[in-house]
Every structure is written in C-alpha cells, then in structure tokens.
Structure 1
Amino acid sequence: MIDFAVIRTDMGGKARLGRLTTSRGTVATPAFMPVGSLGTVKGVDPDDLRRLGFGLILNNAYHLYLRPGHQVVADMGGLHAFTGWSGAILTDSGGFQIFSLAKLRKVTDEGVTFQSHIDGSLHHITPETAVRIQEALGADIIMALDECVGLPSSVELVQEAVRRTSLWARRCQAARRRTDQALFGIIQGGTDSALRVQSARDLVALGFDGYAVGGLSVGEEKAAMYDVLNVTTPELPAMKPRYLMGVGMPEDLVEGVARGIDLFDCVVPSRHGRTGWLFTSFGRVVIKQAHYARDERPIDPICRCPVCTKYSRAYLHHLFNVKEMLGARLNTIHNLFYFAELMRQIRLAIEQGRFAAFRTEFLARRDQWPGEEQVDETVEARGAKTACSVQVYKENRRR
C-alpha cells in the first residue's frame, strides 16, 4: 500500500519533513497534489506534471463515476493506464462533491441519494459503493465516504454529520477488498473544537492508513480553519500522513504545514490560471490588465518555470484576450510551478531547521504585496536586486 516516514520536524515538532512511498514512487512531504477531477489536470498532460516535479495527483471518484463511469475506467486498466499518469493517484470519495454539486440530495445512515449535476439522473451511494467505485478506479490512496456540511451550520447538524461520518468510516473499512490501496479516514466537525477532537479520536480508533481533515474552506474564516487544525492534528498518529482537503491558497499551505499537515490539494493553481490570475514572488499578476499589452518581461523575473524563461507578459495578455487555449495552458504551468517551488522551499526550510523564520518572512512579505497598480514598480525593484532584468529574460529566451 503505502509507507510513510517522518524524517525531521521543526517548530517544536509541528512542521514535518516526510517521505510517502507508494508502489509508483516516493513523494517528499509536505506535498501539494494538483487536482484532476475528471482524470486530467486541466490544460496539462502527465509529462508536464512530471517535469514540474509532481509525483502524486488527485482524481475525483464522484466525477469519474458519473463520466465515463468507474467500470469503463476499470475495463481500460484503471486510472493509471486510462490517463497515462505513472505517478501515484489519490481519489476523493465524493462526499464534498455530493454536498456542493448535487442538485438535490437526501442523506440517511444507509447512504446518500442525489441528482447528478450533469443531467439530473438519480444515484444512490453507500459507503460500500464508494469503496467499490474507488477500487475499480484503481487509485493508490482512496478515501472513506464522509458527510460534509456547509458552514455556518447548527451544532445539531454538525453532530449528526460527525456521527454519520464515523458510522460510514467503519463500513468503508469493512468493505475494502483490495490490499494494494491505502484507505484514509476523513475527520469532520465543522469549527467546533470538541466535535473535531471526537471525530479524530473515533477515526484513529479504526486504524486508517492516513487521516484527512475535511469540511473546511466551506464558508468559515481562515482563522477558524487554523483553529480547527490546532486542535485536530495533535490527535492524529505521528507516523501516519495527514491530509488537508481542498485548501490551497499559498498562505494556507504554509499555515497548514505549521500545524502538522503533510498533504494538500486544491484547484487553485489550475482554475486561477484559466482565469488569468498568476502567482508570483511579489504578489499576483492579473494578465488581462491592459498595462501588460506591451510588457516584455516574464510573469515573474525570478521564476525559473518554462513559461517565464520563454514568454512575455504581453504575449500571455494577448493569448488571454483572444481566448486561445494555449494561454490557459501556459498560465496553469506557471502556477503549478509556483506551488511546486513553494513546497520545495518549505521542505528545505524544515530540513534546515528554519521553517519558523521562513513562515514569518513569507507571511510578512505576503501582507506587503502590492495592489495591481503597484506591481510594475515592485517587479522592477526585485528584478534589479536579483539581476533578473528584461535583458536577462531576453538572453534566456535566446538560449
């Protein structure tokens, strides 16, 4: 299945440098998983992901169950053969998607009945069904079915979701048949500290291969999310991987690592890339802005990604405005590189025992990031300071 080892810790043992080993390779943690809900990370192919340094991605069982169907994927040899991705895959069981996408849904202890967001067709998924679907898909790591509720919700509703999530977790454990897949349990509890602790203890008692913190980024403030992590991660086994589901702004990755999280996933880098929001060392670049129309510089003068070493902002601005699919692809590649590099820097900081300083500097710099109207001056200053000027950029393009 998987092997997980904590190699080094920092910040009093909270930030963890680890190694997650699957039959398809080893992933250094903390790690970010690009999201390919439908079997692909939009705009990029498996070779792109490998070159960017990713070894673990997320596919979604809910989406693949609806289209093309889990049996189709199984008949094609499983997700790895079907998609051409040779690295490790984690599949989300679909609890969050049923909560967020289904047109109508009815939840009972038996399972959940819902209408597809695609065509309105009626479906019924139980914990046992969720496991069978993911076993057919053939992911390396699969997730137990959970009940996710929106926030804010009443205490009674969150209590019921915690109870049902624990019930379903036990049934998922009993339903698993494949021995080559790891099964993670999902902790619920909203923003209620006592319920989070209760949920964590219930799932730890079941002995899962790893533990996910779910039900966040669904309407709560960031401070509330961080408070949840503060009380939840201490309840989890030290030598099992910890996964924060669906949370992925850069500051959330840094703050999650500071609270003991090992794995993250989010659509942020790809979705923001498609909408022209680019992450940089100095803030954001919204490439549709008119002042980029004649800008010869790369997105980020100190970035080493394939996009910044070859293309100008002016070209990316043009591609976005004429709705060329290459623009979305290049933007996504840049954003994914940013996330991969951020995680590499985090791991290095933990290895060197300076993660606390890294975190402080990162958050201070982020608080000082300029608004869009100030970006040009900031880039110019950073470019001059690091000798990454337009001339260097042009030299890189000639090479």
Structure 2
Amino acid sequence: MNFELLQKDPKSKARAGKITTDHGEIETPIFMPVGTAGTVKALHQRELKEDVKAEIILGNTYHLYLRPGLDVIEAAGGLHQFNGWDRPMLTDSGGYQVYSLKDRRKITEEGVKFQSHIDGSRHNFTPESVMDIQRTIGADIIMAFDECTPYPCDEKYAKNSMEMTHRWLKRCCDRFDETEPKYGYDQTLFPIVQGSTYHDLRTKSAETIASFGREGNAIGGLSVGEPAEMMYESTDLVCSILPEDKPRYLMGVGTPSNLIECIALGVDMFDCVLPTRNARHGVLYTSEGIINIKNEKWEKDFSPVDPNLAGHVDMNYSKAYLRHLIRTGEMLGAQIASIHNLSFFLWLVKEARAHILQGDFASWKNAILPKLSNRL
C-alpha cells in the first residue's frame, strides 16, 4: 500500500491524498460503507460502484469467521472472490464486536474467549489467530486486534487496557510479518490508538502506535457514547502526533457533521453503519439537512430527496414515493434510502476533498456545517 499526500488546507488540518492498493486507488478523505457480513445491506455491488461510487468497503472478522466461516471464504479464493467486490476492502479485527458481547466474553493477556451471539458456541481470539483469520479473508487493509474500552471508563482500566493493546499489537505485527498473503496480492496492517478520553493516555498510545512504523494508523475507542467535543479533542490530539505521511483512519464515525469536523482535524478515512441503519428506518441525510421520510409533510412532496445529488435514486424517485415504500415496509424503500444515504456520504467527502484541493475548505466547512444538522 502507498499513500500520497497531495494537498493541505491552509486554514485547517484537512488534507487530500491518495491511497494505492493492489485492488485500486482510494481518494482521501474517504467514507467506507460497512459490509459487516460480506455485504453492504440491501445493495448490489453494481449499485455500490455506479450509484454510491464507493472506492472501498468494510468486512468484519468476527462475523465472517462465524458465518460463512473461513473454510468457505478460503475455498472461494478470499472475500473479494466470494462477494464479487473487485475494489479495495478493509476488515475490522473483531475487537469492537467482542467488546459488545459484554457478559459473553472474557479478556485475558492471551486474548479473548467468547460465546457466539448466534448459537452460544465457544471461541478464542488471540492477536495471532486474528491475523491468520484476516489473512484468510484477504482484505487489502487489516486491523490489529485491540480492546475497545467503553465510555465512561475508569482511568486505571483504560491505562491497563491500552498497555495490553500495545502488547497485542507487537504480537499482531510479529505474526503478520512472518506470514504471507494467501491470494497473491499485498495486505497492509493498521495499528489502533486507544486510551479512552484521557489525553495523557491518548498521547502515549499515539506515540507508541507511530513507533511501529506501519503503512497507516487507526484511531479507535471513540464514538462509543462520549460527547462530540470529547471525540474532537481526542482526535485532534492524536492527529497531531501520528505521522503526516501515513493515512489516519477514525473508526466508527459518524454523522455528516462528525465527518466534516474530523476531516478538518486531519482524518483521512471513516466508516460507520449510521447511513444504512438509519436509512432502513426512514432517516435520510441531505445537503440541506435531515429528513424523517415517515412524516406526513412528505406525503405529497414529489420532489427529489436531494436535488444536489445526481445519482439514479435521487433523479428517479420522489420523497412521496419513498415515504410510501418505507411506511408500507417494502424492501425497495430500504434499498432506495440506503443508496441515497451512502451516496450522500460519499458526495460529502468528495466535496470536502475538492475544496481542500481548491484551498477553500475552511470557508466551505463553515457554510455547510449548519445545514447538515437541520431537521427538515
């Protein structure tokens, strides 16, 4: 993997760059649709390419390990072959999903023992096994195994967890470096900064992660319930420490406003289930604000969901029709809404990139931010 920093905004820390992988190029800043179990819910790969214009999508180690299982994925020749996505892909290590299991998991120095949320079967993840699993899945970018701490989190616990994450990272790197990709193309390992919302811990973690010298770095343990300002403070601090010549990935973030604020702080990559999850419930993000399409006010509104988007669904379906589909539980409604929301998120980061390259990102940010949180 190679990262090229192309332009920095003169009035913020925003940057425009380009990541090159064996499956193609990614223009940053970028939003990555989440395909937890090998699919972005309700979308064909063609729609992801042609309508959403996604350049990279995510899979998840925990879910893919359980279903369909590594034997199926390996027999297919890796996840790219299995799901028909021929562009770059990233896999989360499963650390967040294990964290979410709470009373179904036990964390030790060796790793995590957990029960499947599907059938209660018992499993064991270690830094080494997670590297092996992600080698088998075959994503272009894979994540180190870490512990995601909750918010709020006791400082002593956060410190102990962070230090264990750093020890796990050493084991991840050792295992990754002693093994080869299974499918003939390159893979890249990203470490993850932890430390909850404690600035001294975040500083220590960012310095430690940077010292490993990997091709990119991630920021984890945020967007877990802390106030937005705390997230921005931690992100700003970490970005000031992580190397400038490597991509920075803020995991699990977030709303359109979150994206723009964190781009301004120097983040290059984002992912979140929000656009598709909320789409299925009729919440739509637009360049003028947020729409609850179930509201009666849209019943006879035959205008596009967002006239600023030129995609197929925004040009061919009205608010009134989409409201009808969502309210009647038609599958097409969830599909149209998901395509729209993801298209909007990708449009938003592409607009941000264009303004970074033009040198007027800061003024554009100030103009668009108030619109993004409007309730229409």
Question: TM-score interval w.r.t. the shorter chain?
Answer: over 0.9
Tell me the CA shift for residue 293 of structure 1: 2.3
Asked if 1:239 corresponds to 2:245, the answer is yes
- Counterparts of 1:95-174 in structure 2, within 5 Å, are 95-101=95-101, 103-174=103-174
> What's the Cα RMSD here?
1.2
In the alignment, structure 1 residue 43 sits paired with structure 2 residue 45: no
2:229 matched to 1:223? yes
After superposition, residues 1-399 of structure 1 pair within 5 angstroms as: 2-11=1-10, 14-51=13-50, 52-101=52-101, 103-176=103-176, 177-178=179-180, 180-366=186-372, 369=374, 371=375, 375=376
Once residues 226 and 277 of structure 1 are traced to their aligned partners in structure 2, the CA distance between those partners, rounded to angstroms, is 24
Between stretches 42-51 and 100-109, larger displacement belongs to 100-109
What per-residue deviation string (whole Å, max 9, x for no partner) do you get for residues 204-250 of structure 1? 11122210000011110000000001111111111111000000200
Identity %, equivalent residues: 46
SS of equivalent residue, structure 2 residue 315: coil
Mapped contact 2:325–2:332 kept (Cα < 8 A): yes
Q: Which residue of 2 aligns with 1:395?
A: none
What TM-score, normalized by structure 1, do the two folds share?
0.90
Distance 1:185 1:12 in 2: 29
Distance 1:236 1:69, change over 3 A: same
The aligned amino acid for 2:180 is R
Confirm or deny: 8 A CA contact 2:127 2:169 kept in the other structure: yes
Cα separation, 1, equivalents of 2:88 and 2:306 = 30
Provide the rounded CA distance (Å) in 1 between the counterparts of 2:170 and 2:281: 41
Q: Distance in 2 between matches of 1:359 and 1:268?
A: 21
Measured after TM superposition, the shift of residue 312 of structure 1 is: 1.4
Aligned-partner Cα distance in 1 for 2:157–2:214: 25
- How far apart in 1 are the matches of 2:372 and 2:314? 21
> Residues of 1 paired with 2:314 and 2:32: CA distance?
22
Q: What secondary structure does 1:297 align onto?
A: coil
Distance 2:74 2:296 in 1: 48
Distance 2:246 2:266 in 1: 11
Displacement of 1:290 after TM fit?
A: 2.3
Measure the CA separation in 2 of the matches of 1:336 and 1:194. Answer: 36
Find the aligned partners of 1:55 and 1:303 in 2 and give their Cα distance: 18
Which sits farther off after the overlay, 287-296 or 104-113? 287-296
Any idea what SS the aligned residue of 1:252 has? helix
How far has the Cα of 1:102 moved from its partner?
Answer: 5.3
**SS of structure 1 residue aligned to 2:38:** coil
Query: How many residues in Structure 1 have an aligned counterpart in Structure 2?
Result: 369
Contact 2:106 2:112 in 1 (8 A): yes
TM-score in terms of structure 2 length: 0.96
Q: Give 1:126 shift.
A: 0.2
Structure 1 distance, partners of 2:41, 2:292, is 19
Alpha-carbon deviation of 1:101?
3.4
Asked whether the 8 Å contact 2:59–2:90 carries over to 1, the reply is yes
Distance 1:350 1:130, change over 3 A: same
TM-superposed deviation, 1:352: 0.6
Q: Alpha-carbon deviation of 1:315?
A: 1.2
Give 1:151 deviation, angstroms.
0.6
Mapped contact 1:103–1:115 kept (Cα < 8 A): no
Deviation at 1:93, TM superposition (A): 0.2
Higher RCO, Cα 8 Å, sep 6+:
2
In 1: Cα distance, 2:349 partner to 2:308 partner: 17
Q: Is the 8 A contact 1:103 1:117 kept in 2?
A: no
- Unaligned runs of at least 5 residues, structure 2: none
- For the 8 Å contact 1:145–1:165, the answer to whether it is kept is yes
Bigger radius of gyration, 1 or 2?
Answer: 1
3-state SS of 1:14 partner: coil
Give the C-alpha shift of residue 13 in structure 1: 6.5
More off after superposition, 148-157 vs 8-17: 8-17
Work out the CA distance in 1 between the residues paired with 2:360 and 2:320.
Answer: 38
- Distance, in Å, in 2 between the alignment partners of 1:353 and 1:20 is 21
Tell me, yes or no, if the aligned pair for 2:286 and 2:372 is still in contact at 8 Å.
no
